[in-house]
Amino acid sequence: MSSAEPTRRDFIYIATGAAAAVGTAGALWPIIAQMNPDASTIAMGAPIEVDLTPIAEGQVIKVFWRSKPIFINHRSKKQIEDAQNVDVAKLPDPQADSARVKPGHEQWQVLIAICTHLGCIPLADQGPYDGYFCPCHGSIYDTSGRIRQGPAPLNLALPPYEFLSDTKVRIG
Amino acid sequence: MVHLNMNGHPSYQPKNAFMQWLERRLPIAGLVYSAFIVYPTPRNLNYWWTFGGILTFMLAVQIVTGVVLAMHYMPHVDHAFDSVEHIMRDVNYGWLLRYLHANGGSMFFLAAYIHMFRGMYYGSYKEPREVLWILGVILLLLMIVTGFMGYVLPWGQMSYWAATVITNLFSAIPLVGESVVTWLWGGYAVGNPTLNRFYALHYLLPFVIAAVVVLHVWALHVAGQNNPDGIEPQTEDDTVAFTPYATIKDAFLMMVFCILFAWFVFYVPNFLGHPDNYIPANPAVTPMHIVPEWYYLPFYAILRAIPNKLLGVVALVASIFVLTLLPWLDTSKVRSARYRPLYRQFFWVFVVVCIGLGWLGSKPPEGNYVLFARIFTIYYFAFFFVILPVLGKVEKTKLLPKSISQAVLREGMPIGTPAPPPAGMHRA
């Protein structure tokens, strides 16, 4: 069935169809968007301040920011050297240690303690590189938190942070 | 006089005046009569054909126990774990209801896997039952999602970290992965919004499963059941009425299955669970060995066998979706493995590989465990993409019987009944 002249019924079809499509999209949007973090969750994500004085050399502490565990690692001289004396080009996710710490604060390593594979918390001071080891699927990170072996694709992520003083850091 | 309906079997003729009145207005009794009473089933069905009924029963068990558990459970991170212990200790028969529900999930998957292996052994997915099979794969997928969300609800350590690991599978999606994961969580990590929505969906999905079961049974009744010889019924001699023949067979094995179910519930209710799930969820500590429930272990082993995040997730998803392609990957015209001597061997190797992957999935991801997981993963996919397509072309199949009745009857009596066979009669 075809006619050269559009009929009034054709107009009704198109007008109704267009209204239904736009209406469905408009109705679906809130239903999908409600699943994203709500205002109270976002408000809880404000920056945190951490005092570094009690953290001894070689000690790793865990703090939480935006429900994410954050490692603050007071690295020893050897750990820093291990992290720096690496052929960066050969790493799965090439990144120099200097790009993963703040200049002048090489002993402090702040990173998100979430394995980039499937989200487990790695164990500190473990594995062949004396860095981090994820017990879930065997990913191994070095003392700079860079991925060296295992299924994880990326280095441990760094949170946004800055040093307020030599002994105080603000994460977030 | 017997009235025959379109399908050639007796139609429903109610004698009772009320039923006549109802049938004129809503022919539901007639539907039951034609679908579950006089419905012709192949006369050679064996006990492997009873698992569809068992699965329907298990779905009902899960819905009934689940609805009553929901009356006592609290989906909040501060109360979920305690409310489950409250169910175990304080609620009347709460321990029984929860153990039925938790072990019922395992029994549900056990029956589903047997049902699927049966379909694979006897070629039940082949023309004209492709849609029936695909609906079954959709049901498996829905079961996997529902079971996973249910496992999160007790909010123990395994619940929490299973939720973290499984939702992180979506982070492997290029570009939008991280946003998708945040959207799934409703936060920056698995938390209260996640638990809330998993609870809502865990309550919803079983009813979606029930709806797809209706489609599955509908497709079954259109195509008719396959049977151990994999040949279509041709005459009335090849079939028997659903009731009483299939009904009693289904009911009998259902009771046997219930004995197994009851053994788990009453004697080893925590055998299939993980002790770490009796530790409340702790977002600061990942357990040393996290393993999923036993029914996900083969897929988990495939995920871990591949040393690349994205490809591992792709393999995991593909290992389930490949099943939808099975009707077209298997190129053999012969359905039943009874008449496919080579396929039968590859099939049993496949079964061993699936169980082996399950065992490997429970082991730590190191050394030879990973090596064997890789070998088994290769076989898993090769079975579908190499063995089945090639086998259909090169295999010399055995001669099929002319009919189902010829395969199972001799002189009108079932084979095995003590009647002296006349000389020269052979089972084809």
Instruction: Give the model confidence (pLDDT) of A94-105 as tens digits.
Output: 999 889 999 989
Out of A74, A105, A117, A137, the active site residue is: A137
Whose structure tokens read 């009731």? Answer: B243
Per-residue model confidence (pLDDT) at position A127: 84
Question: Is the Cβ pair A119, B191 closer than 8 Å?
Answer: no
**Closest approach of B209 to chain A, Cα-based (Å):** 22
* Residue A133 backbone phi and psi in degrees, to 5: -135, 130
Question: Is the Cβ pair A68, B189 closer than 8 Å?
Answer: yes
**A76 and A17 in a common domain:** no
Question: Is the Cβ pair B309, A36 closer than 8 Å?
Answer: no
**A150 and A74 in a common domain:** yes
Residue-wise over A87-107: b if at least 16 C-beta within 10 A, else e? eeeebeeebebeebbeeeebb
Contacts of B253 (CB under 8 A, 6+ apart): B47, B50, B51, B53, B54
Please report the beta strands in B203-266, taking only residues with DSSP state E, as ranges in sequence order.
239-241
- Segment (H or E) for A163: strand A161-165
Its ipTM equals: 0.84
**A83 and A14 in a common domain:** no
Instruction: Give the tokens for residue A98.
Output: 């200097």
Active site residue A137: yes
**A144 and A124 in a common domain:** yes
**A139 and A63 in a common domain:** yes
Instruction: Give the model confidence (pLDDT) of A109-120 as tens digits.
Output: 999 999 998 889
Q: Using alpha carbons only, give the angle B316, B321, B326 rounded to the nearest 5 degrees.
A: 130
Q: What is d(CA B210, CA B203) in angstroms, rounded to the nearest whole number? A: 12
Per-residue model confidence (pLDDT) at position A32: 95
**Structural domain boundaries, residue A31:** 1-36
**A54 and A5 in a common domain:** no
**A94 and A29 in a common domain:** no
Per-residue model confidence (pLDDT) at position B419: 53
**A32 and A55 in a common domain:** no
**A147 and A108 in a common domain:** yes
**A116 and A86 in a common domain:** yes
Helix crossing, B94-121 with B80-89: angle to 10°? 100
Q: What is d(CA B27, CA B38) in angstroms, rounded to the nearest whole number? A: 16
Q: What are the mean pLDDT values of chain B's consecutive 10-residue runs (428 residues total)? A: 53 91 94 93 96 98 98 97 97 98 98 98 97 98 97 97 93 93 94 97 98 97 96 94 95 98 98 95 89 95 90 96 98 96 98 98 88 97 98 95 88 64 53
Per-residue model confidence (pLDDT) at position B5: 52
A2 pLDDT more than 70: no
Bridge partners (DSSP) of residue B414 are B409
Q: Chain A residue with minimal CA distance to B285?
A: A121
**A50 and A30 in a common domain:** no
Instruction: Give the tokens for residue B141.
Output: 């997928």
| Spatial CA neighbour of B84 closest among B92, B94, B148 | B94
**A142 and A83 in a common domain:** yes
User: What pLDDT band is residue A89 in, cutting at 50, 70 and 90?
Assistant: confident
Per-residue model confidence (pLDDT) at position A50: 93
Per-residue model confidence (pLDDT) at position A5: 84
For the residues A37-42, what does the mean pLDDT come to? 91
Could you tell me which residues of chain B have a Cβ less than 8 Å from any Cβ in chain A?
161, 164-165, 167-169, 171, 182-189, 191, 193, 197, 283-290, 304, 306-310, 312, 364-366
Q: What is d(CA A109, CA B400) in angstroms, rounded to the nearest whole number? A: 72
Per-residue model confidence (pLDDT) at position A3: 60
Is residue B164 a contact partner of residue B190, using CB atoms and an 8 Å limit? yes
**Around Cβ B108, how many Cβ atoms within 10 Å?**
23
- Partner residue facing A62 (CB), from B161, B165, B284: B284
- Chain A hits for B168, CB-CB cut-off 8 Å, are 117-119
Question: Is the Cβ pair A120, B309 closer than 8 Å?
Answer: no
Instruction: Give the tokens for residue B116.
Output: 């699927």
Helix crossing, B51-70 with B94-121: angle to 10°? 150
**Residues 89..118 of A with a Cβ closer than 8 Å to B: which?**
116-118
Instruction: Give the model confidence (pLDDT) of A119-165 as tens digits.
Output: 899 998 888 888 999 888 888 999 899 999 888 899 999 999 999 99
Domain total in chain A = 2
Which residue out of B168, B195, B306, B308 would a mutagenesis test of the A interface target, given it has the greatest number of A Cβ atoms within 10 Å? B168
Given this structure, which CATH class describes domain B28-407?
A: mainly alpha
CATH of residue A99? 2.102.10.10
For the residues A52-61, what does the mean pLDDT come to? 91
Identity (one letter) of the amino acid at B218? W
Q: Strand order of the sheet with strand A147-149?
A: A123-126, A131-133, A140-141, A147-149
- Chain A hits for B364, CB-CB cut-off 8 Å, are 138
Per-residue model confidence (pLDDT) at position B366: 79
Q: Chain B residue with minimal CA distance to A63?
A: B284
* Residue B97 backbone phi and psi in degrees, to 5: -65, -40
